[in-house]
Amino acid sequence: MKEFKVNDFIELENVAAWQLIISPILDPKSPPYKIAPYEKSYMKMTFGEIEAHIKRRNTYFIGFDSDRNHALLRIVDPEARKALLNIDKEQIMLTDDAIKQLFACKNKESYQKMLDKLIATKAEAQTMRFKWDEIDFDSMNRWKENMLAEKIEEFLPPLEPDLRQIKYYDKEPAGARWHF
């Protein structure tokens, strides 16, 4: 296994739909780390800084369950993840690959199981709500859209009008932004 030094930079991925701002622990006078929404390759945090946040139980890194799933920051390097989180497996997180796997499910039972596994927190529901316009529901069964909306509504109040009735225009027609 690779040995990491305290000053080694570790690659992180932000799976959240919003910017994450993290105050430094090792050098509190430094400016905060600002990780953009969906940032795929953030390389400004060191092994030691991440380790300090994990020791302080920062849920951005360790998630919300005993298996360290549902975190908002993914440690990309598997060896660094093992060294920092003491886990051998990939965490359950709402990554782009996980979302592709979700929509690849062929039947309602496997889709519901995967949906329950991936969306277990309010933050994950909010992220899926932000991604709603990017999802091509026209190319899949309508039940997938309905089940996803119901799952999101377990954590968040429904949008007005109902999220499932809105179609966003890529190019806004004159005077109109939404179509119901």
Closest to 107 in 3D by CA, of 148, 150, 144, 153: 144
Where among 85, 117, 132 does a domain terminate?
85
Query: Mind listing the pLDDT tens digit for each residue in 116-146?
Result: 999 999 999 999 999 988 899 999 899 999 9
Does residue 175 lie within any of the structural domains? no
Closest to 154 in 3D by CA, of 128, 132, 108, 122: 122
Angle between helices 108-118 and 142-155 (to 10 degrees): 30
CA distance 107 to 86: 34
Where among 33, 55, 85 does a domain terminate?
85
**pTM for the whole thing?**
0.79
Q: Is 22 within 8 Å of 46 (Cβ atoms)?
A: no
Asked whether residue 123 falls in the same domain as residue 144, the answer is yes
Q: How confident is the model at residue 160 (pLDDT cuts 50, 70, 90)?
A: low
Where among 85, 105, 140 does a domain terminate?
85
Query: Mind listing the pLDDT tens digit for each residue in 74-127?
Result: 999 999 999 999 988 888 999 999 999 999 999 999 999 999 999 999 999 999
Asked whether residue 58 falls in the same domain as residue 102, the answer is no
Asked whether residue 100 falls in the same domain as residue 166, the answer is yes
Does residue 26 lie within any of the structural domains? yes
The residue range of the domain holding 29 is 12-85
Residue 52 main-chain phi, psi, to 5 deg: -65, -40
Asked whether residue 75 falls in the same domain as residue 23, the answer is yes
CA distance 57 to 14: 17
Does residue 159 lie within any of the structural domains? yes
Domain total of the chain: 2
Helix, strand and coil in the chain, % to nearest 5: 40, 10, 50
Does residue 65 lie within any of the structural domains? yes
Asked whether residue 67 falls in the same domain as residue 19, the answer is yes
Asked whether residue 76 falls in the same domain as residue 103, the answer is no
Does residue 66 lie within any of the structural domains? yes
Does residue 44 lie within any of the structural domains? yes
DSSP track, 29-53: TSPPEEE-TT-S-B---BHHHHHHH
Does residue 124 lie within any of the structural domains? yes
